[in-house]
């Protein structure tokens, strides 16, 4: 479900450094790419098809020009071909362009050597980002569905397949970068893409079971049994992976000849997504405690999750000792308590006041549905607690530091093989795999 700001990168018009037949053919291939950002699912599908066709065409062109039969040779040769002297992609920057931005100079200045290898790595990155967008768009559609037929189940499976294709591209990008004769695009971006793909798979699992819980609750006033503690651990695993992504993103800085995607808005987005995952962790753990009869803990967890989604500020930084800061934190805590106390069954996520409004992008629909389910859970737990069990409600401020949080763990996923261009494949695929069992693995 992660769709990072300013992704996927989009092509700009380039000024070729030379006019040989090879580069003329390359430009003809590139001219088919749509430079506009995708706004619908159909746009995203078309973009992926164009990028993959372009990537396949580049490798066919390379192999037709030279006696190349393996990836290492293609990487070495493409690293020696300078295409132009500026970055021909939006949201990809070089060190010299970064300096130009700081000096308010034109970004069209000739300031780097853009090789064909740089072009290939950027296309691989764009394809991987585009597949993660496709997975998020279908997930967003499925979250609003109350159908549980085979067709819907197949759509959930297609979500996983899109994320696997994103991971396969990340693997291929890493392999390509290993053979490069000089640094090109920062290779850490492929590690990041691998993590984002895996986060997407695990988040889609949370979304699916959240949808099942919501539909079951609406129909029968109960929740699914047996897997809520596991799903909480999945959400916590996602939180750990997001921290890894934040570190990778902060380390990617254009230096020398090394180029990176534009990451200015990524850190804030990861912080936002961690609150989304925190809300899921609280939801599933609250259902687990509710089914065990521990309603005080269940209510505290739903309060924590609701404020993760709605509140502008949740955690207090106790290292800051200024009196005014402490006063603001105390006021904010009272405001959050007042908000929790006024929740009703008709309460909805107030998007214009929510931290999610500006940056949530595609996940906003699921955020609203998750919020609605949390409200219903809290009202159900509170009603039963006030009339039957009378448990002490755990304060939402104590939930985050509570030692009862389980250790994160992801759902096992079947092996993902690296993408290989058709021109480099030794033999064409021979149909079904020997261990194919019918409908294929779900995850």
The ranges assigned to domains in the chain are 21-413
Q: Which DSSP category does 363 fall into?
A: G
User: pLDDT of the chain along its 443 residues, tens only?
Assistant: 789 988 999 999 888 867 788 889 999 999 999 888 888 889 999 999 999 999 999 999 998 877 787 899 999 999 989 998 889 999 998 865 655 554 444 444 456 789 999 999 999 999 999 999 999 999 988 988 888 788 898 999 999 999 999 999 999 999 999 988 776 889 999 999 999 999 999 999 999 999 999 999 989 989 988 799 999 999 999 999 999 999 999 999 887 678 899 998 899 889 989 999 999 999 999 999 999 999 999 999 999 999 888 765 555 444 445 554 454 454 455 555 656 666 655 555 555 445 455 554 556 678 889 999 999 999 999 999 999 999 999 887 787 666 678 999 999 999 999 999 999 988 655 555 555 545 555 66
Tell me, what's the pLDDT at 343?
Answer: 62
- Give the C-alpha separation, 343 to 325, whole Å: 27
Tell me, what's the pLDDT at 255?
Answer: 77
pTM for this prediction: 0.88
- Give the C-alpha separation, 81 to 78, whole Å: 5
Nearest to 8 by CA among 244, 233, 193, 219: 193
Tell me, what's the pLDDT at 328?
Answer: 47
102's enclosing H/E stretch is helix 95-102
Tell me, what's the pLDDT at 40?
Answer: 85
3-state secondary structure of 27: helix
Tell me, what's the pLDDT at 327?
Answer: 42
- Give the CA angle between residues 284, 409, 215 to the nearest 5°: 30
Tokens describing residue 146? 């109350």
Distance of CA 389 to the CA centre of its chain: 41
Tell me, what's the pLDDT at 315?
Answer: 53
Nearest to 232 by CA among 161, 192, 291, 149: 291
Domain 21-413 sits in CATH at: 1.25.40
- Give the C-alpha separation, 227 to 210, whole Å: 11
Tell me, what's the pLDDT at 26?
Answer: 92
């Amino acid at each position: 479900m992660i769709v990072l700001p300013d992704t996927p990168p989009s092509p700009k018009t380039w000024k070729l450094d030379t006019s040989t037949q090879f580069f003329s053919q390359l430009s003809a291939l590139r001219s088919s790419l749509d430079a506009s950002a995708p706004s619908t699912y159909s746009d995203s599908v078309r973009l992926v098809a164009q990028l993959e066709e372009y990537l396949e065409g580049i490798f066919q062109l390379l192999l037709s020009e030279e006696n190349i039969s393996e990836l290492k040779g293609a990487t070495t040769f493409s690293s020696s071909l300078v295409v132009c002297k500026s970055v021909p992609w939006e949201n990809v920057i070089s060190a010299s362009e970064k300096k130009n931005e700081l000096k308010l100079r034109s970004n069209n200045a000739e300031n780097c050597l853009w090789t064909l290898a740089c072009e290939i790595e950027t296309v691989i990155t764009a394809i991987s980002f585009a597949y993660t967008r496709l997975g998020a768009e279908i997930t967003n559609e499925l979250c609003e569905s109350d159908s549980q037929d085979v067709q819907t189940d197949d759509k959930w499976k297609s979500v996983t397949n899109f994320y696997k294709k994103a991971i396969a591209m990340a693997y291929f990008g890493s392999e390509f970068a290993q053979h490069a004769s000089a640094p090109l695009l920062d290779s850490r971006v492929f590690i990041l893409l691998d993590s984002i793909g895996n986060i997407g798979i695990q988040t889609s699992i949370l979304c699916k079971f959240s949808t099942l819980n919501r539909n079951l609750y609406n129909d029968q006033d109960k929740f699914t049994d047996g897997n809520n503690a596991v799903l909480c651990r999945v959400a916590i695993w996602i939180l750990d992976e997001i921290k890894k992504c934040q570190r990778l993103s902060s380390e990617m800085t254009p230096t020398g000849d090394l180029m990176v995607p534009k990451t200015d808005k990524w850190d804030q987005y990861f912080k936002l997504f961690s609150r989304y995952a925190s809300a899921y962790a609280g939801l599933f753990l609250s259902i687990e405690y509710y089914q065990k009869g521990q309603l005080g803990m269940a209510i505290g967890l739903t309060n924590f999750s609701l404020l993760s989604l709605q509140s502008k500020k949740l955690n207090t930084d106790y290292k800051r000792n200024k009196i005014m800061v402490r006063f603001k934190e105390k006021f904010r805590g009272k405001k959050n308590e007042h908000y929790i106390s006024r929740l009703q069954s008709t309460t909805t996520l107030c998007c214009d006041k929510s931290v999610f409004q500006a940056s949530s992008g595609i996940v906003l629909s699921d955020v609203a549905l998750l919020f609605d389910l949390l409200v219903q859970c809290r009202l159900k737990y509170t009603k039963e607690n006030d009339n039957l069990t009378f448990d002490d409600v755990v304060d939402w401020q104590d939930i985050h530091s509570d030692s009862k949080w389980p250790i994160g763990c992801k759902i096992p996923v079947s092996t993902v093989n690296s993408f290989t261009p058709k021109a480099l494949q030794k033999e064409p695929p021979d149909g079904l795999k020997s261990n194919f069992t019918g409908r294929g693995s779900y995850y």
